[in-house]
A and B are shown apart, each in its own frame.
Chain A
């Protein structure tokens, strides 16, 4: 097993300790925190689910045609920003009453602008970020332009316009936010961080442009749309790679591996490396809040793994495909959603199904996001 931890062991130990310290804080604040699962279904509704009862509390109509169902929440958990209208518009909902408190339209008559689920909110909740993929609409042809980070003031309310934009790489999917540095995490071919005040960008982890020999490794296929690890404060970009133990292309000797780039969204600490043998497709990964070595994955199965030991601990076959996974801050329940119209609830210890929530439509590619509201 090739477990490559780029940070030094001492640093790793420090991270574990930080994790434990945070966990302690989490347990104390949790008494006053209500947790809600948020998702979007076709034709276009945002659903607010009470995780105490696992019932849909309310469903909010989202304007426009269903997009990708992307959701970003405000740090206080009260506002859900939903991407809609074929990946172009964003509406902010007060999840207590479905009131729309914010909106932005990215496209104009001169430009078609799409965001590939790329949306994040600053730690103070004052700024919303999207990565825009603009295409200039000439009279008789299109012109693909450089993607850009667009910064919006959430206080601008309806029809907000970007207050700043900065050029970014192509192929960026999910965003995150690092509290300590105030940077936006850009998940693309490589994992980068951009300062949304001045556009300064630094590389957190090289993936497609990594410094490994093509004789030894296949450049990673890194792609993720959903899980942001808000239950533990961690951004995970999974990737798939092949290690050639013989000549490149010699499949008998090759190792198929899952890797992960993890960013601690509080401190900005980065770990990256191969963690598990590739046994089956997993769409999204989550870390157990009570043991950072344990991760869960969903797709055609719910699976539990120890990334320190590179082992699969348990596999629970699912009744259908579920793209998405999330869990509560105390690690007591796993929620599996996306794809179809039901959210499946599981016990993290045994992976057994302990509940189900039927929704009014298909989730398709929608997020399954945890909102933490202090009451």
Chain B
């Protein structure tokens, strides 16, 4: 109890200190920027709780506010200094943002994760909004009832063909959208919520300090790194240095900056080994964990999940790769974390044969599973810390799942403005489990396994149209690169290099092989790519 209070006091102190810093650093604040730039159309209400028409009736993510301001610039004649735009987005995201609980489960769209099949799409959104948007796009906004209705009217003015589109015109779209959808959105996503009130009242932790990070890049593989996060000149601005290793031992190094919006929305811009990358992370409420996705700035499909934990002096285990050991075999494990000792334990039947290397961010060990080591998930202990159920001991690979199971790649390039959109695959191995049957509930997930990659036509039509020849190619790392954009005179009706393919991932299992398949639709460019799809 005493400790808890102490922490609270410390955090309050930190936040207050930052606030003081901010007031001296910014020459102009958000409300003043709104007054100077937005009042040609928007009006002041005179109400302290909602001072500006429309603007004060909404809450959004940083990307949501950026999208609004982009539209105001391109469609409504807003001219705003870049530095004021940055201050304004920060102000709006901080003061009219979304609480962590309000973005949970929908972060994939902020993280630009490809090939997500959305779950639990509300019925009123599915019939009205998802023809063009992800369901997450409306789910990541909070508005008053009147504002949700105004959003429908905005669509009617901005996209006059909206009620004539296939999927909309077979019903009274406008009537449904105004009388049903906007009402339900208002009920489900209201402006005023307890989650937001609570989050506003929560002291925000500084993210300054040393972190241990682990993640995956499609072309480089798994990585571990230490990240030093230091304060920059403005409140919530940080600079960071990243040093670590890829799974093959090659070095990873980089640096960059990050800005934290809404107290937890980390947006980083880094250069790692010469490549510009973006980070979209969420910080935990206590400021000790970051999780999200890191991807190439100009090719956001090329990225992967990242987690980071604040490193103290204690041993901290963040990751282990690979996550499986075969009975009777030796396996090299790369363990990511901080202050890792050499005391590695995986329970009975697993012995550490040798420590291959040890550095600040990782420990590489060779372990061996006895022939009779019990099949199942083990916890990896390193000194005093452990990763629960993180390593599987298995007898044989019984089946392979290729992820994502449904996917899209898009043709591009070839002199056009829109680059190719790749698609990336990984093979997940499973052991059969106690019942000895693959595909049952007790299958044991072995994690990502190396695979040989190939393509085949998805169906008879794809075969007849020679999709395999034109739609693209997959490399040894499971990265599919689609064909060139534009008409192809070699094809029937000079069609684009689109195609309907199956991606086959084959994992070696002794002398045999186990294969899994995923569906890949190679389609045309996304001509309206938005910050929040």
Contact = CB atoms under 8 A, between A and B. Distances in A.
Interface of A: 87, 112, 114, 116, 133, 135, 137, 139-144, 170-171, 173, 189, 208, 219-223, 300, 317-321
Contacts of B416: none
By secondary structure, the A interface counts as: loop
Contact of A300 (B43, B172, B493): B493
Contacts of A171: 163-164, 169, 172-173
Contacts of B172: 170-171, 189
Contacts of B156: 135, 142, 144
Nearest to B492: A317
B528 interface: no
A246 B73 CA distance: 54
Given A170-B172, A320-B494, A139 B41 contact: yes
A142 B163 contact: no
A140 B53 contact: yes
A14 to B, nearest CB: 33
B54 A141 contact: yes
A319 B493 CA distance: 5
A264 to B, nearest CB: 25
Interface in B471-505: 493-494
Nearest to A300: B493
Nearest to B165: A223
Given A140-B41, A318-B493, A170 B160 contact: no
A142 B153 contact: yes
Given A171-B172, A300-B493, 19 more contacts: A114-B160, A116-B161, A135-B153, A140-B41, A140-B42, A140-B53, A141-B150, A142-B150, A142-B156, A142-B157, A170-B174, A171-B169, A189-B169, A189-B172, A220-B170, A221-B166, A221-B170, A318-B493, A319-B494
A320 B154 contact: no
Given A112-B157, A140-B54, A144-B156, A173 B164 contact: yes
Nearest to A189: B172
Interface string B26-55: 000000000000000111000000000110
Contacts of A223: 164, 166, 169
Contacts of A173: 164
A87 B161 CA distance: 10
Given A144-B174, A320-B493, A137 B169 contact: no
A170 B170 contact: no
17 contacts: A116-B160, A139-B42, A140-B41, A140-B42, A140-B54, A141-B154, A142-B157, A142-B158, A170-B172, A170-B175, A171-B164, A171-B172, A189-B169, A219-B170, A222-B169, A223-B164, A223-B166
A219 to B, nearest CB: 6
The 9 closest A-B pairs by CB, nearest first: A142-B157, A144-B156, A135-B157, A114-B160, A221-B170, A140-B41, A142-B153, A141-B150, A140-B42
Contacts of B154: 141-142
B494 A137 contact: no
A170 B164 CA distance: 9
Nearest to B162: A144
Contacts of B166: 221, 223
Contacts of A140: 41-43, 53-54
A206 to B, nearest CB: 14
Contact of B43 (A137, A139, A317): A139
Contacts of A319: 493-494
A238 to B, nearest CB: 13
- Chain B contact-residue range equals 20 to 34
Contacts of A300: 493
Contacts of A208: 170-171
Nearest to A112: B157
Contacts of A320: 493-494
B162 to A, nearest CB: 10
A87 B160 contact: yes
A321 B495 CA distance: 10
B163 A170 contact: yes
Given A171-B169, A221-B170, A141 B153 contact: yes
A321 B494 CA distance: 10
Contact of A144 (B53, B157, B164): B157
Interface string B334-363: 000000000000000000000000000000
Contacts of A220: 170
B219 to A, nearest CB: 37
- Among A139, A142, A221, chain B packs the most CB atoms within 10 A around the CB of A142
Nearest to B174: A170
B11 to A, nearest CB: 39
A245 to B, nearest CB: 21
Contacts of A317: 493
Nearest to B487: A320
Contacts of A133: 160
B57 to A, nearest CB: 11
Nearest to A88: B160
Contacts of B54: 140-141
B479 to A, nearest CB: 32
Contact of A137 (B157, B170, B174): B157
Contacts of B164: 116, 171, 173, 223
A143 B43 contact: no
Interface in B150-190: 150, 152-154, 156-158, 160-161, 163-164, 166, 169-175
Most buried by A among B153, B158, B173, B494: B153
Contacts of B174: 144, 170
A237 B153 CA distance: 28
A110 to B, nearest CB: 12
A116 B160 CA distance: 9
A218 B176 CA distance: 18
Pick the most buried of B41, B150, B164, B170: most chain A CB atoms within 10 A of its CB: B170
Nearest to A318: B493
Interface in B119-159: 150, 152-154, 156-158
Nearest to A319: B493
A143, A219, A321: most-surrounded residue (chain B CB, <10 A) = A143
Given A135-B160, A170-B163, A143 B494 contact: no
Contacts of A318: 493
A207 to B, nearest CB: 10
A312 B166 CA distance: 25
Contacts of B171: 208
A222 to B, nearest CB: 8
Contacts of B161: 116
Nearest to B494: A320
Contacts of B157: 112, 135, 137, 142, 144
A318 B169 CA distance: 28
A142 B172 CA distance: 19
